[in-house]
Amino acid sequence: MAFVDTDSEHPDVPTFYNINSAVGFGCPNIEEDVKVVQFFLQRFFTLRPFAGEKPAGSMSVDGKVGPITRTWIHKFQAVCRRSKQNVLVDGIIDKAGNPENPNNLTSSISRTEYAIRALNAVLRHEDKEVYKTLTTNPVVPPDVRMIFLQIASQGPPMNYGSV
C-alpha cells in the first residue's frame, strides 16, 4: 500500500505519497498502489495546463492495470519530459527509492527523477485543495479515501510545505 515518505536527502522538504511496488506493464501492480496512481493521473489530466494532453479512453480507478492505465502512465511521463522534467518515459511508475539505492529522488540506474515524485509535486502545487484533503474530499472515490485514511493513520503526517 502507498505510504507517506520523506525526501531521503532533504527531510525538511515536503513529504510525498510513495508506493510499495511499481505500477505498469510487467510490474507487481498491487491494487492499492494502482488506485493511488490512477487517481493521481486522473487529477493530473484535469489540471488546466495538462487537460489538453489527456490520453484517449476513460480510466477507471479500479486497481487494475490494463492498456488504458498503461497509456495514461506513458502520456504523463511524456508530458513531464516535454516540460523539461527529467522523468524516464517507460510506462512504469516505480517506487521512489529501494534498499540498494536509498536516494528516493532519482533512480540509480536511469539517473532520472522518479515519476511518483513528479506526480506528487505537480498535484501539490497545481491541485493543492484536493491534494491536501485526500482523506475527506468528495472528488476522491470512497475506496481511495479509505486508502488515504489508512496511510494517514500509519504516519508520519504529511508536510505540504508552502503550497
Residue 33 Cα distances to 8, 11, 51, 147, angstroms = 21, 23, 23, 9
Residue 103: the pLDDT is 73
CA quadruple 3, 7, 11, 14: dihedral, nearest 10: -70
Task: Report the chain's C-alpha Rg in angstroms.
Answer: 14
* Cell triple for 77: 511521463
Residue 153: the pLDDT is 94
Mean pLDDT of 82-98: 93
Check pLDDT > 90 for residue 100: no
Mean pLDDT of 95-123: 86
Residue 156: the pLDDT is 86
Check pLDDT > 70 for residue 163: no
Under 8 Å between Cβ of 112 and 85: no
Mean pLDDT of 122-131: 96
Residue appearing with cell numbers 484517449: 56
Strands 3-5 and 92-93: unpaired
Q: Percent of the chain, pLDDT > 70?
A: 96
User: What's the pLDDT band for 85 if we cut at 50, 70, 90?
Assistant: very high
The C-alpha angle 84, 38, 117, rounded to 5 degrees, equals 40
Residue 22: the pLDDT is 96
Check pLDDT > 80 for residue 145: yes
Amino acid letter, residue 75: K
Q: How far apart are CA 83 and CA 93, in angstroms?
A: 18
Alpha helices in 1-114 (DSSP H): 31-44, 67-82
